[in-house]
Amino acid sequence: FFKNKKLINIYNSKKTIIKDISKEKYVLFCSQMQPEKTTFPEAGDFQDNIELLKIIRDNLPSDIKIFYREHPATFMHFHNCYIYRNSKYYENICSNKNTFLVPYNDDIFNYIDKSIAVITTTGTSGIEAAIRGKTVINFGNAWYSACKSIINIKNKKEIFKLEKIFESKPNLIDIKNFLYYLDDNYLRSELEVRSGDFVYNYKDKKLFSENFKKKNLSIYQSEINKYEKYFIRALNDENFC
């Protein structure tokens, strides 16, 4: 607990408060919690955020700012993220030209909507930003890498793809088709498999299982809420595409 509290204080001491981000010209780097599979091993060549940010900085125009947003779960007391985060880590990030830490607990969608593009290492923020019509560059092998409108950089030989950041916006029809594919072939099955002892009927919004009722409903309900929040609303939104 105390180590995580110290980490929060370190981050807050180095963050930059932006009064009006709508006036800023920036890309948003959404960091992942570490250690976690989203970077080890899914990020592949890009597990080291410090090295990756230097690569990004070297391949973007110098007047484009990089806003680094730490994953909020990094500061939760039941994670051991202090193993990978310390004062030197954040100092190294801020040592890059025009690179700033932004508050981790501010509304991420506000930062996404005002950005030029969103960069992440397989984070859910990638698909969230794409749904909101933002250019997304994903480093590594994300579960949404098959979405055609997301720029995927799988290894260092593909760094040149960073140039696409200014070329075009995502094709929202492509994104919606990808979400339909997930809805039909993956997400509902995952909910059933991961829960193990219950079946969730999305149409009726009911949970069925005597054994499940004896367990902690909130864990599985959070998965269902996440599913609805990110995907079902997009599928049902007539203005989406």
Q: What is the pLDDT of residues 78-101, one digit of tens each?
A: 777 778 899 999 999 999 999 999
Whole-number pLDDT of residue 57: 97
213 to 164, 201, 216: CA distances (angstroms): 49, 15, 8
Residue-wise pLDDT tens digits, 127-181: 989 988 999 999 999 989 989 999 999 999 999 999 999 887 888 888 888 887 8
Whole-number pLDDT of residue 186: 64
Whole-number pLDDT of residue 232: 58
* Three-state secondary-structure class, residue 29: strand
* Three-state secondary-structure class, residue 136: strand
pLDDT at 109 over 50: yes
- The predicted model gives 116-127 an average pLDDT of 94
Mean pLDDT of the chain: 82
Whole-number pLDDT of residue 223: 52
- The predicted model gives 101-111 an average pLDDT of 95
Rounded Cα distance between 189 and 181, Å, is 12
Whole-number pLDDT of residue 66: 98
pLDDT at 126 over 90: yes
Residue-wise pLDDT tens digits, 189-204: 444 433 444 444 444 4
Percent pLDDT > 70 in the chain is 75
* Three-state secondary-structure class, residue 120: strand
Q: What is the DSSP string of 156-171?
A: GGGGGGGGGGGT----
pTM for the model: 0.80
H or E segment to which residue 199 belongs: strand 199-201
